[in-house]
Each structure stands twice: as C-alpha cells, then as structure tokens.
Structure 1
C-alpha cells in the first residue's frame, strides 16, 4: 500500500468532515438548501475516500499482502469519524428544521 492511498483517504475524509460542518453552520443560519448542498459534497468526498479504502481491501482479498501501518490506521480512523460525524450532523440539521418549525408555530399562535 502506498502512502498516496493513505493520504487520499485522509484528505477526502477531512474534506467530508469540513463539508458536514459547513452544512451544520448553514442550517443554523437557516439556509437549508445550502446545508443540503454541503451534505451532498460531504457524501461525495466520503465516496472517494471509501473507494480508496475498498480498493485496498479488495487487493488484500485477492491475495496481495497489505502492510498495515500506523498511518493507515490513522487514515481509517479519519474515514470512520467523517462518516459518523456526517451522519450525526444530518440528524442535527433535521432537528434544526424541527426547532425552527416549532418556533414559527409558537410565534404564530401568540
């Protein structure tokens, strides 16, 4: 396994996390369309990182020995964290929508 693959996973997982947090910021500002765009880009970045990971796994399954380094473990951690945070942020954005809807209803009822 080359360091290029490892850094590809780290780079794209980091990009995914940044997009997810940008989505959350947009949602908190009330711009849910912008938030949705960031989530799409986060998912695309996760896809790139995941393909690099899957290629490595497939090569090992085909019998090509893969050297598992601490740097590779670090890359795996970045990807797992990016996926988990993106999923959590997706739920947080839905909660933000609900909170804004309920606040608007409450204000209208006053």
Structure 2
C-alpha cells in the first residue's frame, strides 16, 4: 500500500470540478487543504476515495459525467499505484491531457 500522501489544494479542486461537478474521485491517500474542503462543502460535492463505485443515473448527462469521473479515477489510480507518481502537478497535467484527447 502506498503511504505517500497527495495534497489537493483549491487549484486541484477547480480542475476536478470541471471534470465532474457532482463527485470527485481521488486515491485513498489524498489529503485536502482546508480551503479546498471549503470549496467542496460550498458546492456540495461528494468525495469518493479509493475503489468506491459511483451510483450511475439513467440519463445521458449523468452517464457522461460518470464516464468522465471514472476516467479521472482510473487515471489517478494508474499514475499513483502503477507508476508511483504522486506529484499533484504531474497528475493534474496528465488528467487534463487525457480528457482533452478523449473529448476531441
């Protein structure tokens, strides 16, 4: 198990919110700064740690958001667990690039 902690700040939260506005999927070793938690609470965003599954809705918009969230979740999992990448800037950049290429 990876004991290294990843710190998410307000910038990370804003970028993750752009990916999926209802739920944020993060590895189990993520720690949020207090200001990041304020944003999460104010927007009523659910945080899903580790391997928890999301509840998928039947409408297309929810399905698309869940697909995007799953992509983000799996990308983070691969970067952290398989590649041992814990630098939040690198993780953020990889996620942004993956989503750009998928959506283009």
Normalised to the residue count of structure 1, the TM-score between the two structures is 0.31
User: Who wins on radius of gyration, i.e. which is larger?
Assistant: 1
Higher relative contact order (CA 8 A, sep 6+): 1
Q: Is the helix fraction higher in 1 or 2?
A: 1
